[in-house]
Structure 1
């Protein structure tokens, strides 16, 4: 996720003759209470893998969940596991070993995957909103308009749109000269890395601004438009179970969208100040850790079909253990 309000800090205003070649960066991250934080993030990381992995297994195992809606949910859960795996293992390794370094290529690779997976998630959430729009507003045409080919194409398209833009973005950033190696963050985030650059950032600002529009604003507007039509359709339904079912169908996704876009906009679309990099470090935990942890709970606790499938899976496992025992 890029930031459209980049400003050069004191290091960026140094004379360019003071530039140095940076071969590795230092991720300052969270240095206090390292053992406690390591155990905390380890528990969270395992919970993220377990929760999202369980959704992937259940929606794959149960043929009743082989529908476009659960195909999107399975894709989102897989994406969340990959997204979290880009940041948390490195942060935990730094906390445990005390070695805060990350090589120049590793930092560029980490930033690419953060941007790539984050941008993909923005469009995937928009595709899920479109799926809910068709299910609620055009139910008679749903299976024709949201065929397996279309749903696979929407997921593949979400990845395809993000890939070239993020390669360009990372290439522009890591072709810059850097004045120092210390990144005041727990991963290689755009504002924290650019704050070390000793160069004119105009091209980067244009690139970041373009990505903000394409990957944050456009999908968010599409989601809002879908839910405007969904709300209008629901309000026109006769009062009763039809409205409740429609609201139930959309509530989980709408909750995830609110959490994700709320945290992303809070971190990346506010004006930057000298102290904002430090506050962004803490706020970044929202979309890199907290939301991937909450998503499985949101979709299982508020979805009868997923809970029913989980119960059948657990019952089948128990019967298998009894028979083998």
Structure 2
């Protein structure tokens, strides 16, 4: 099958590309390299260095004729979205609309969209089901919500099949410190640089951390399952920031120094996504324990992180 992956040089997208190629698919990658890295892209993929809003994307899709599109290309920083809502919307909403138009024009059979837990806002009840009220508290969450609505409308008006996957806090190798699970990368890099771990607030805030390889398997299942559905992809477990720091300290076999700073304004106290729908609709479940995933992630950075590679993993927004 010919498959296009926008954002295929990024953290999740590049792991997905690797698995698609492994399974024998022909893969086309489109990435602006704003968040992605060319080193992440398999040489077996057809790579186009291009923003999804560039007019040339239409020519690429006409030339390549993908049967399925994974739309993972996005502006991913909550902080950046709150400072630059117009830019965030241009990428996450306008860019999505262009891709939807091209998919309809060229007869793409399905679009699989990477959405986010950020669309839920402050949860009324945990774990969060897909039917939970949507009340995002960031422009990033609003733009992802808007993109979802356009996708579902394109199905109603034009019959474009879709699966919308709402990811919890994805972590793993190749991730930089940007994004909602960037705390793991920050903790690991601070460990490698012998710096203290910075915890905002009391560290009792919880998140739902899901390993990237498990996420990729859910995306693969969505090729043939989960049609016309919105599905949470998560571990279904709450882990506090203090617990996370403790596990990383244990795996590194050395104690950490902790610095506690004022809680970030607008930070959600607790988050956890229910994943029963994914188990039913995609015949999928997470298989990686937190310690196992963290160990693989730490091993990756231990081998790949150095002064020359620092720019790949440490966002300029958090230096």
TM over 0.5: no
Give the number of the structure with larger relative contact order, counting CA–CA contacts within 8 Å between residues 6 or more apart. Answer: 1
Whichever structure has more strand as a proportion of its residues is 2
Q: TM-score, normalised by structure 1?
A: 0.26
Larger radius of gyration: 1
Whichever structure has more helix as a proportion of its residues is 1
Q: TM-score, normalised by structure 2?
A: 0.26
